[in-house]
Each structure stands twice: as C-alpha cells, then as structure tokens.
Amino acid sequence: MAETLTSYEPATGAEIWTGEVGDPAPMVEAARGAWAKWAAHSFAYRTETLRRFANVVRGKEQEFADLIARETGKPYWEAQTEVAAVVGKVEISITAHSERTPSRKAEAALGNKVSVRHKPHGVLAVLGPYNFPAHLPNGHLVPALLAGNAVVFKPSEKTPASGQFLVDCFHEAGVPKEVLHIVHGGPATGKALASDPGIDGLLFTGSARAGMALHKQFADTPHKILAIEAGGNNPLVAWDVKDIHAAAAIIAQSAYLSAGQRCTCARRLIVPEEGHEQLLDELLKLIDRMIVDHPHADPQPFMGPLIDVAAADHVQSQFMNLMMKGGTPIRRLDRPFEERPYLTPALIDVTNVKDRPDEEIFGPVLQLVRVRDFDEAIDVANQTRFGLAASVLTRTPENYDKFWANVRAGVINWNKPTNGAPSTAPFGGVGISGNHRPSAFYAADYCAYPVTSVESELCRAQIGQGLRDPVMLED
C-alpha cells in the first residue's frame, strides 16, 4: 500500500488534502527526456504559455486564495496578495529574462563576431516552503521554465494542496506534464530529489539549517547550480524617528505580519536607551489591538495561527529560553487555544541577556535591545550569522547612509518595513541567509548559463610564429 501524505487546516484541524508520497527518480528521468524539446521551442512560445498560466490563476483567484488561507492559516486578505504575486511574477520574469540574460553580438577583428547567449541547465529541482506555498516556489518555477528547463517540484509537506493547485494551473495552461512534475513527501523525499544524479541544479527556499546542509552536499558537485534562499535574524533600528505613529506601524508590520512566519520579519528592535518610551507605548497600543483569529473571520484578523502545533510549541520554547536567560516580557507570548497553534504577538526586552541566541524565531516574537548610541546600534544589528533584511527608521539621511554602509544584509530599507521586498529587484541575503544567488528579479541568473562564441563564416587562420622555414625543410 502506498504511503500517503495528509494536510490539515491549522485553524481548525480539519483535513484539507490527502495524496500519495511520490518517488522523484522516475520524474527526474522523465524530465530529462523532455527538457530538450521544451528548450527547443522559441522564447516567444514559452512566454505565451506562461502568460496563459497567469490567466488561469487569475480566473481561479478566489478559489486559490481560499485554499492558501485554509492550508497555511494566514488571513484571507493576505492569501489574496499572494495569488496576485503569482500572477504578477510572469510579466516580471519575462522582463527579467530579457534584461538579465539577453543575446548580444559584437563586431571583432577580421570580420569576426562575438556572441553571448544563454542555455538552460536542463532539469532543475525546486524545494518550496510552507509560509508562501505558491508565491515563493513560483518565483523559481516561472523563470526556470521561461529559460527552457524542465522542473521537478517538491512542495512543503505542510502545504501540499497549495503546491498541487499551483502545478495544476501550469498544466492547464499548456506546460507539458513531462516538463513540470510535482512530487509529494516529507524530508526524505526532499533529500532523495536533491541527491538524484539526474538533476542539473536545485533551487531552494527554507531554513538556514537546511540550506547549510545542502551547501555541504553540493560541495562535491560544482557542476550543478545551487540557489539558496534562507531566513534571517533581522534587525530593525528605530533612531530619531519623526512620526512615532508611522514608525510603530512599520515595526508592527515588520515583526508580526504572517504571524512572524516570513523570512524577512524583524526579530530584533534596537532603540536608544533613553527616549524610546513614547515609540514603545505606540507599539504596545497596536499590539493590544491586533486581531488573532481564523483566516476567514469577520472582521479580518491581522494574524492567523502558525502552520502547526509543533511550530507553535517550538516558538514558545524559544521564548521561554529568552526568559530563562534574563529576558523581561513586555507582552507575553500567549497560547489562546492549547490544542491549536495560535500565538499572540509578543515583545520581550533582551538587553540584559548575555549570549543572546543568534537564531531565527519563526513566529510573532520581537526582541527589544536598548543601546547607548547609533554606533552600538549598528554593532548589535551585525551581531548575527544571518544577513537577509535590515531596516532603519530615522529622520536623518546621514544615519541611513551610515547604516547602509555598515550593516551586512541583502535587503536594507530606510523608513520602511523589513518585509515586503519588491519582485522587481533582486532578493537574497548574505551570511547563512543565502549563497550569493539572489532570487526575484535576478532569478534568471541561476536558471540559465551564459555561452560565449567567437564566430566567423569562413575559416581564416595561420600560424605566424614558432614554425621552421619551409625553404630550409626543402634543403
């Protein structure tokens, strides 16, 4: 009997989807046999196919958003923005492909030409996360297919229904099933796909720990592309802000959007030792007003539950660890329903905690750190192995310039949240947050490789040095 995988609603515990755990090996083999034909199609052909995909998703927007909301627990309004991002990714990726991987020709000496074109890698594996089960894997799938690759996609075992819905939309639009495969399963299935000798690369979104493991695994296969997009212990510095109401809203959005389950969520709020009290009061007012409820509640909630009970348990354990180390809760992390993974937004002062854990708390927990001056704020911001996102809220351009120049992160914002990066720009981190292959607009870079050709219509060559005189040979 085949092993099955079942998905449940975090908010209610109700079953959403059940399917068979798959074997990636035959899918990789089938993709190997199909990718060359897909790559042989013109770019215009692949473009129109993916534009049809966008139209298919657009026609199922409400159905798709409802599924994502129920399977992830995120509010319905937020799931709608995710579906809109799936649609918008197509045109953005078409533009990015043209700008990042264009064909170019230049004149050279003796009538020669130098040509630069790009080839697809072949078969790419994609491992998707649960927090954005459509948007984030779609950010790999669309540019990979546009470039002419075949893909084997494993969605998170926590959101298989959303992944299946996404792939069904591609197939309905005309992307051949032998070109885009979906395999369901847990970590063992993901490891089998990542280690399959038939793939030419892996595009990964997930935890930093898994990213590091993949980096070690791929060290022996430098001929295979590996793109890692991992999380962050992201700092947000609030210093000499002008509008405390707006600043409090930015802090709340940065920390608690998606119940803190975004890799770009702010984990650490860094403020001056003196003069932060009014801003803190405004933030607490917002925290106390936040609605935590099921995805389709009326009025709509700001936060839904975490993905599952195990995730909520882990975040609670991390919060308790901060308290045991000397952290002072300002707003406690409460569990309204013990049997379900709802958590309330929490704020904890960790200024006096020695050896603060450098880890990503993937939930609604914001750590407050009070510092003496702006230089110390930058030092504290950089006290992390991660390097994904960072923001500074300040009225002073000089502060922003100093922050930008000295903070290590792939996304650095001024008077804006840490999350919500634009798809029209590169997205990725440094440190253990990535491996210098940013996604979003730069995804085209890792979906095809450049080929340089020196071209001439005629064979023209002679060897001018290092040969014996032919006359002397005759003698």
Q: Which of 44, 263, 46, 227 is nearest to 140 (CA)?
A: 227
Contact present, 303 and 291 (Cβ < 8 Å): yes
Question: Helices 61-72 and 43-59, interaxial angle, to 10°?
Answer: 70
Strand arrangement of the beta sheet that strand 123-127 belongs to: 180-182, 150-154, 123-127, 201-205, 225-229
Q: Active site includes 459? A: no
Contact present, 353 and 325 (Cβ < 8 Å): yes
Alpha helices in 41-110 (DSSP H): 43-59, 61-72, 76-100
The dihedral over CA atoms of 370, 375, 381, 387, expressed in degrees to the nearest 10, equals 170
- Specify the residue for token string 């569990």: 335
Contact present, 27 and 183 (Cβ < 8 Å): yes
329 strand-pairing partners = 348
Whole-angstrom Cα distance, residue 43 to residue 54? 17
Contact present, 268 and 409 (Cβ < 8 Å): no
> Which of these is catalytic: 229, 265, 282, 360?
229
Residue 320: CA count within 13 A, CB half-sphere: 8
Q: Which of 311, 309, 304 is nearest to 259 (CA)?
A: 304
Whole-angstrom Cα distance, residue 227 to residue 213? 13
Whole-angstrom Cα distance, residue 342 to residue 292? 8
| Bridge pairing between strands 411-414 and 389-393 | parallel
Cis peptide before 235 (omega within 30 of 0): no
**AA identity, residue 410:** G
Whole-angstrom Cα distance, residue 180 to residue 152? 6
Q: Active site includes 263? A: yes
Contact present, 38 and 176 (Cβ < 8 Å): yes
Map residue 350 onto helix, strand or coil: coil
Phi, then psi, of 27 in degrees rounded to 5: -70, -40
> Which of these is catalytic: 263, 265, 282, 360?
263
Whole-angstrom Cα distance, residue 142 to residue 137? 9
- Specify the residue for token string 């002679």: 462
Show which residues are catalytic.
229, 263
